[in-house]
């Protein structure tokens, strides 16, 4: 039941940019900066992002940091069908900042923030099958570079997404 409530919350967040928000300030991009906590430096991730890969068209959306959390969702569409979707949060806990992902609505996986620079954030979970590391970089040209890295059956693997901000 808790997972369903989170899924509904994420769905509602996905609709915010098109429902009742002005074009100059989509509702998803408005937050209370004073409550962003340790996530304030990650505000460059907020917005709607789009990119093309051989796997399909990828969209990712992130809310502004507020209430010591950020919410995100992503999907990939190929040949008119959703081939992947994921709900995500970044939350400031008592000790750590945690990235949690629910790929295809499955059980959540948590990654601890191990590095945060002005234009890059790194999350790790060495015990996870794949990925063990998630990296977001805000490139000089404005692109969002999202990487999932790790090892699968002893072999290094990197999934990369280059996304341009569309809102």
Residue 55 backbone phi and psi in degrees, to 5: -80, -15
Which single residue is written with the structure tokens 């959703």? 82
C-alpha dihedral (95, 117, 125, 13), degrees to nearest 10: 80
- Would you state the pLDDT for residue 16? 44
Does the residue 66 lie in any domain? yes
Cα–Cα distance measured from residue 16 to residue 20, given in angstroms and rounded to the nearest whole number: 7
Contact 3, 106 (CB under 8 A): no
Beta bridge partners of 109: 101
Does the residue 156 lie in any domain? yes
Does the residue 26 lie in any domain? no
Average pLDDT over residues 98-122: 97
Cα–Cα distance measured from residue 109 to residue 107, given in angstroms and rounded to the nearest whole number: 7
Q: What is the pLDDT of residues 1-39, one digit of tens each?
A: 454 444 444 444 444 443 333 344 454 566 777 889 999
Average pLDDT over residues 59-82: 97
Residues of the domain holding 97: 2-20+34-165
Does the residue 29 lie in any domain? no
CATH (domain of 96): 2.40.128.20
Q: Tell whether pTM > 0.75.
A: yes
Average pLDDT over residues 42-58: 96
Our count of domains for the chain comes to: 1
- Would you state the pLDDT for residue 145? 98
Does the residue 25 lie in any domain? no
Q: What is the pLDDT of residues 135-158, one digit of tens each?
A: 999 999 999 999 999 999 999 999
Does the residue 28 lie in any domain? no
Does the residue 27 lie in any domain? no
Does the residue 124 lie in any domain? yes
């Amino acid at each position: 039941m808790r997972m369903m409530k989170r899924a509904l919350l994420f769905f509602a967040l996905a609709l915010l940019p098109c429902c009742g928000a002005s074009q100059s300030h989509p509702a998803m991009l408005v937050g209370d900066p004073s409550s962003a906590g340790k996530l304030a430096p990650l505000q460059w991730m907020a917005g709607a992002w789009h990119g093309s890969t051989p796997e399909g068209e990828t969209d990712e959306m992130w809310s502004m940091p507020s209430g010591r959390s950020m919410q995100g969702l992503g999907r990939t569409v190929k040949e008119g069908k959703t081939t992947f979707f994921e709900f995500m949060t970044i939350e400031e806990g008592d000790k750590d900042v945690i990235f949690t992902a629910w790929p295809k609505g499955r059980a959540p996986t948590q990654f601890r923030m191990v590095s945060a620079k002005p234009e890059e954030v790194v999350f790790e979970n060495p015990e996870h099958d794949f990925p063990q590391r998630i990296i977001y970089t805000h490139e000089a040209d404005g692109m969002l570079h999202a990487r999932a890295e790790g090892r699968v059956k002893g072999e290094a693997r990197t999934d990369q997404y280059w996304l341009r901000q569309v809102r």
